[in-house]
Amino acid sequence: MSTAFLIASSRPQGNTVQLANLVAEKLSRVSVFNLDDYDISVYDYEHRNRHDDFLPLIEKLVSFDHVVFVTPVYWYAMSAQLKIFFDRFSDLLTIEKNLGRKLKGLNCSVIATGSWDYPPPCFEDVFKLTFSYLGMPYQGMLYCPVDEDIDPNHSIPGISEFVARLQG
């Protein structure tokens, strides 16, 4: 099974990316895409941004069996970079419907870190509702509470189960 990790974090070597790396090491076919490497502008009702990097990135992502959205929890929600990306799904419902139809059946998961013991329910609800609306089977979330750097030698609860879901 091929898996894409879509990184959406303000810290390229922060806890969220470290957690994603720990998961990726346990998988055989992973490609990593970092939203910081793409020029993706905010949703625009007039679609003046249709030539930025959003549509080419979606073309790549729909070629995978599974996409994992990787984000820290900021103010009870996904990162700003990922929110902009999610807002652009609207393009796939209006001007690029054929590409949008390719999302149906694409398995999705979430990797997240935050300062709470458990993520706020509203955090995961956004993913569940979006994926349900787009027909993308949601395979769950790996959440890791952090208050300091992740120790790669320390066992992360739930990581084995999460990896098993990604492997089908």
The pLDDT value recorded for residue 154 is: 64
Predicted model pTM: 0.94
The pLDDT value recorded for residue 94 is: 93
Total domains in the fold of the chain: 1
Rounded to whole angstroms, what are the CA distances from 150 to 15, 120, 130, 135?
6, 21, 29, 34
The pLDDT value recorded for residue 58 is: 98
Q: Answer whether 57's CB lies under 8 Å from 88's CB.
A: no
The pLDDT value recorded for residue 39 is: 97
Q: Which residues of the chain have pLDDT under 50?
A: none
The pLDDT value recorded for residue 87 is: 97
Contacts of 46 (CB under 8 A, 6+ apart): none
User: Which CATH number goes with the domain that contains 139?
Assistant: 3.40.50.360
How many other CB atoms are there within 10 angstroms of residue 122's CB atom?
A: 9
Task: Give residue 9's domain range.
Answer: 3-166
The pLDDT value recorded for residue 31 is: 96
